[in-house]
Each structure stands twice: as structure tokens, then as C-alpha cells.
Structure 1
Amino acid sequence: MRESATQNVAVFGAGVFGRNHLRVYRTLQESDFPVRLAAIVESDTSRTASLEQEWGLPVYGSIDAFLSDCASGNLQIDAASVCVPTIGHFQAASALLANGIDVLVEKPIAASLEEAGQLTALANQHRRVLQIGHLERFNPAVAAVRGLLNGPMFFEAHRLSVFSPRSLDVDVVLDLMIHDLDIVLTFAQSPVSHVHAVGLPILSPKVDIANVRVEFESGCVANFTASRVSTERVRKLRFFQPHQYVSIDYARQDLLVINVEARATANSGVVGNSSGLSMQKPQVTQGEPLRFEIESFLECVRSRRRPVVSGEDGREALKAALQINAAIDEHARRARLDRYTA
């Protein structure tokens, strides 16, 4: 990294996700955060002129052109956000890591476990920060619940969205459900033992709605529902642990905790136990998760510490998502066979 405390950053991909990263970096820069938005890489060269005018930055049409300017000294970059479609994550991130640039990769980490493993190895080899954009890790409601975790044994996640033509390069599991998979894997702290899943394509060639049951070696169970063809937007996770029920509303950044309190009672001379319920709403400090995520990334770049969501974390979430997709494919295969043999 350069000696200057200000970090120069680039954003790869100026689509929906990329524009959000551009907005946050520019907002941080204007608020005197030690970061400077320095370049955009966008393969759709028909947008070059409009992007240059809008952001006042050099816009490169390819990774090679970008790296060439870096190598010549015409461009100094410390870190980058990779917001291109999933299929391009590996190409962009691997080139950046190999050239000594720290990387924040939007989720999922890559299109395959092999690519995910190679990215993690590259980051270790070149001693670079590799953070994966599992945004809900930085949701204030999730941050507020961490101190309450006490061996959760049952999860129920619902993530529903109105149909949008974005992110149709991946199915609903890699597009939406993977957010909840990452959170549950983090909270459950146990390997996956069994996966049961069903999914259907509705408005795209890929699976648009899925229902999943994941069992963990600890005995914990998690049910997931994800849809990108809903009439409403829902982002909720509920879980049960000894004597407690916890509900997280990601969208509202809201947290509800219900405690089950056992108390002794006397009834007709017989002493027994009855349950009382107490409800509480822990304080949640509102804020934009993406800004928290990017601030955390930049702090890791500055301090050289391990990111909150590491490459290894991203690989584990991808591994679970691919297991689910395999289970969906197997269910579909059995259903076709049953229809054929009926």
C-alpha cells in the first residue's frame, strides 16, 4: 500500500450493485473519510462516456487496460470492489489479488468451489485482504443479536422479493437465500449433515423460488424460503434457543426477543412449574449495512486484519448453496422419474 493514509479505490462493474458501491465510496470521500474513488471498470463500453461524465473518473473497458495503467504508474489503486456478474468474479478478483490489490467481492464469492478456493489461496499467497459481500453480517439488527446467542437449535428464514431482471445469471439460492445461509452458518457453528430442498423456475430459466430444510451435525435444524417472484418484500429470520425466541427483521433493522421464564407455582397443594413470557426489544442503532460493510473493508485494508467475512466464510456459504442446488436438482429428477413411471 502507498504511504498516504488515503486509500485509492476502484469499482469493477457499474450495474445495480456497482452503483451502490460507487455511491458509498463517494459519500465517504465527501465526508472526509480517508478514501478516494479513483476509477471504474465497466465492460459495456457504450456506457463509458456517460459514466465518466457522471462520476468524473477514468472508466476502463477491461481489466487488462486497468492493470496496464496501474503498472505504468498512471493509476494508483489500493483496493477494489468487484461487482460484476458472478461468472466474472474469479477473473476480476484473481487478477486484482495477484497484482497486490485488496478486494471486496460481492456475494457469492465465485461461481464454483474450485474458484473460491483459488481466490482464498491467492489472497493468502499475496497477503491481500479478501472480503466477501455478505451484507447482512453488517445489518445493525444482526450485530445487536450476537451477544444473545446461546446454542440456537431451530431457524426459520424468509427472504422474498418482487421480480427484477437483475442477477438472473444465478438462481434464487445464490441470489437471495445465500444471505440467510451465511448468517445461519455463522450462528449455528456446526457442519451441515443433511439437505432437503425443492425449487422451481417461474419467470426465468433458473430456479426462482425454493424451500429448503438443512440439518446440522449438532442437531440444529434450519428452514429457508426464498422467492424472487413474490408480491411483497420480506427479509426475516427467526430462531429458537433454550428459553428464548428471537426474531430479526433485516429490512426494518428490528429485533424482538421473547424469554420463557419458568417459575414455581402452588395449585391445590401441588407444586409444579409454569411458564411466563417476557418480551423485550433490544436497542438497534440504525444505519446502512453497505456503508458499514465498506467501512469495515477499508479498515481491514488499513490495519491488515482479517475481514469480518473472509474468503473462507464465503466459500462455506457457497458450499451450502451448491449442496442445496444439488438437492433441488435431485428432487426434480425424482419427480420427473415418478411421473414417467406412474
Structure 2
Amino acid sequence: MPEITRLAVVGAGAFGRNHLRVYRELEAAGQPVVLAAVVDGNPAVLAQACAQYGVPGFASVEELLATGLRLTAASVCVPTVHHASTAVLLLEAGLDVLIEKPIAATREQADEILAVAARHGRIVQVGHLERFNPAVGAARAHLNRPMFFESHRLSVFTPRSLDVDVVLDLMIHDLDIVLSFVDSPVREVRAVGLPVLSPTVDIANVRLEFENGCIANFTASRVSTERVRKLRFFQPHQYLSLDFARQDLLMIDVTAAAGLTAEQLTALVEKHSKPEAPGEPKHPTAGLSMRKIPVEPGEPLKLELESFLNAVTTRTTPVVDGHAGRRALALALDITEAIAAHTRRTGL
């Protein structure tokens, strides 16, 4: 029998409520996990969470730890500015932690978290949710030296997460994924962004160049009229289009046309001129075959928390460990600094 993980959720706001829900669902399904406590500084929010999930509630991490309640791990779902102080208290108390993205507000705070975790032999996972999107896993299986990325992550405006700019709020998801896809350091960052409805940057466009020559363009907005979550990338003889919201992955393959004789190419044209079978997409250009890659649907948060619990139980490195979270944060902050420099230069 695997050891039961006893968990606390710190922060019962928008993110924390979902962690509470999924942990309780996993517990009810017989997973070796017990939702043991919730922490929130807002009395009304705390009372609601305690009533809904039937767990003891505490106004602070210090209050929780003072009770001596037996705990194994915790989800840190407080505002970004409190990530480091909260995580350090939990790590020093001997708990493994899952920290919602970004790992911290600064590079120095991220380094402190990593140092404390190493000193106490604790696990740190960072909540880069989209890493667990089934479409991302399907795309990873088809990676072959990607050389160009185009990312769009657009949302309608909400008052959530206004403690950070759109780069740390939304774009960081795609930064983390592209960093995990491209095994090369970033060589150059160019960025522009503007505040629209909040005091921080609400819309941003970024161009990255990696040392291996790969180029990645990112657009993120939290003041859009529509919700878009897409990543497209090109690699030798292939183009892949990933829709995070629909958990779809489309591949356009040009290898079928490479090196063909005129007669073979003519036959290929004729083949693509015929009506396709029901449910099979067809590219309008001859020589380009288009197919949907099978994706097993799943809730990314559930997959993320299951992965965290597995890392805690087996004492293995998480899929998105603290170092990956620190890398994504550092790049996001580089972009924020590039936006500030562009603003000063242009007087926007």
C-alpha cells in the first residue's frame, strides 16, 4: 500500500478552490491522499471552504503549523507576492510543496525556495498547468528539431491575477512549454507591451531567438474579445497546430511529397483531389497531408496534482520541478524588463 499523502491547501481563492475540489475528488476515488486542512486569511472565504470540504481551517500557515497537525505536502495558491514566504515556511516544516505559477515574484525568491528545498530534502513542483494538457503530451511525442513557434494566448478581462502583468499571468504558460520543447538557451529577447485596464502590462508581443536558431513569437492579452489558447510550430517537413482549450493536435506533413517523381506527384495530386473519408481533414494543397493526432482527453489540473502526488510518494523529480519553474520565471522577467526598456525608448 502506498503511503497516504496528507495535504493542506494554502489559499482558497480561485486557484485554491480548484485544488480543493480535485484533491477531494482524488480522495473519494480511492487515491492515497487525504485533504486535511485549508488556510486563508479571509474569514469568509475560509469559512466557506471549511464548510464545503469538512476540513479544519486556519488563518495563516503559522497557525496551521503550530497545531502540530500531521501533514505531508501542501498546495500554495496564494498571490504571487506571497509564494516565497509561504513556501519557505512549509518547506522548513518538512512539507513537499506544489506552488502555483509563477514559482515566485523574483529570481532571488525562486533561488531561496530552491535552496531551502535542497537543504531539507523536499520536493518542489510548480503549477505550470498546460504542461499536463494532453495535447501538449501528444505534441511532445512528435518533436523533431522545431525551428519556429507562434503562440497566442488571449483572454477577456477579469480582476483575477492583477498582482502580476500578462507575461507572468498568461504568457508564462507558453514560455514554459517552448523552453521544454527547445533544448537551447535564449539568445535574444525583443518585446513590447502596454497596460490597458490595469496598472501593469495587459497585452504583450514577444520575439525570442534561441542559440540554435529557433525563433518563437508570443502574443498574450487579457483584454481580448475572445478566448484563444493556441500554439503552432514548424519543424523539418512538418507543421503542428495545438489547441489547448479543445485539446486538439493537428499535423500537416510534407514528407509525402519529398523526392517524388512527376508521375508520383501527379498521383498524389489525384489522391488529394478525391473526397476524404468522413472525419479525415484534408489540406487543400497537393502534397501536404493533414491529420489529427489522437489525444486522450483529461483535466490538466487533475493530471498535474496526480503527478505531484506521485512525485511525493516515490520521491522522484516532478515533471515541472522548481528549476523548470525558475527558468520560466527568469525568462518572463527578462521579457518584462525588455518591455520596460522599449517603453522608455519609445515614450509609450
Equivalent of residue 85 in structure 1, options 68, 79, 82: 79
Given residue 209 of structure 1, which amino acid in structure 2 is its aligned partner? I
Structure 1 segment 103-252 matched on structure 2, within 5 A = 103-252=97-246
Aligned to 2:266: none
1:5 is paired with a residue whose SS is coil
Equivalent of residue 292 in structure 1, options 278, 295, 303: 303
Q: Distance in 2 between matches of 1:235 and 1:314?
A: 20
Q: Distance in 1 between matches of 2:315 and 2:147?
A: 35
Superposed displacement of residue 278, structure 1 = 1.2
Equivalent of residue 14 in structure 2, options 13, 16, 22: 16
| TM, length-normalised to structure 2 | 0.91
Aligned to 1:270: none
Contact 1:263 1:276 survives alignment (8 Å) = no
Given residue 18 of structure 2, which amino acid in structure 1 is its aligned partner? N
Superposed displacement of residue 7, structure 1 = 1.1
Aligned to 2:94: 100
Q: Distance in 1 between matches of 2:47 and 2:141?
A: 49
Structure 1 segment 295-306 matched on structure 2, within 5 A = 295-306=306-317
Superposed displacement of residue 293, structure 1 = 0.2
Superposed displacement of residue 265, structure 1 = 2.3
2:254 is paired with a residue whose SS is strand
Superposed displacement of residue 138, structure 1 = 0.5
Q: Deviations over 1:35-81 (max 9, x none)?
A: 110000101124333332222111100111011012xxxx1110100
Contact 1:260 1:275 survives alignment (8 Å) = no
Contact 2:10 2:78 survives alignment (8 Å) = yes
Aligned to 2:276: none
Q: Deviations over 1:174-208 (max 9, x none)?
A: 00000000000010111111111000000000000
Q: Distance in 2 between matches of 1:299 and 1:265?
A: 52
Equivalent of residue 283 in structure 1, options 294, 318, 322: 294
Aligned to 1:33: 31
Contact 2:12 2:45 survives alignment (8 Å) = no
Aligned to 2:63: 65
Q: Deviations over 1:108-147 (max 9, x none)?
A: 0000001101111111111111000001110000111112
2:219 is paired with a residue whose SS is strand
* Pair 1:76-2:70 in alignment: yes
Tell me, which stretches of 5 or more residues in structure 2 are unaligned?
A: 264-284
1:264 is paired with a residue whose SS is coil
* Pair 1:309-2:320 in alignment: yes
Aligned to 2:273: none
Q: Deviations over 1:2-34 (max 9, x none)?
A: x97221100000000000000000100111111
Aligned to 2:277: none
Q: Distance in 1 between matches of 2:259 and 2:2?
A: 61
2:330 is paired with a residue whose SS is helix
2:7 is paired with a residue whose SS is strand
After TM superposition, where is structure 1 displaced by more than 6 Å over at least 4 residues in a row? none
Q: Distance in 2 between matches of 1:49 and 1:122?
A: 32
Q: Distance in 1 between matches of 2:114 and 2:50?
A: 33
Q: Distance in 2 between matches of 1:186 and 1:192?
A: 12
Contact 1:263 1:275 survives alignment (8 Å) = no
Q: Distance in 2 between matches of 1:264 and 1:146?
A: 29
Given residue 49 of structure 1, which amino acid in structure 2 is its aligned partner? A
Q: Distance in 1 between matches of 2:76 and 2:96?
A: 10
CA 1:140–1:328: 2 relative to 1, 3 Å: same
Q: Distance in 2 between matches of 1:49 and 1:254?
A: 39
More strand by share: 1
Q: Distance in 2 between matches of 1:296 and 1:153?
A: 29
* Pair 1:332-2:343 in alignment: yes
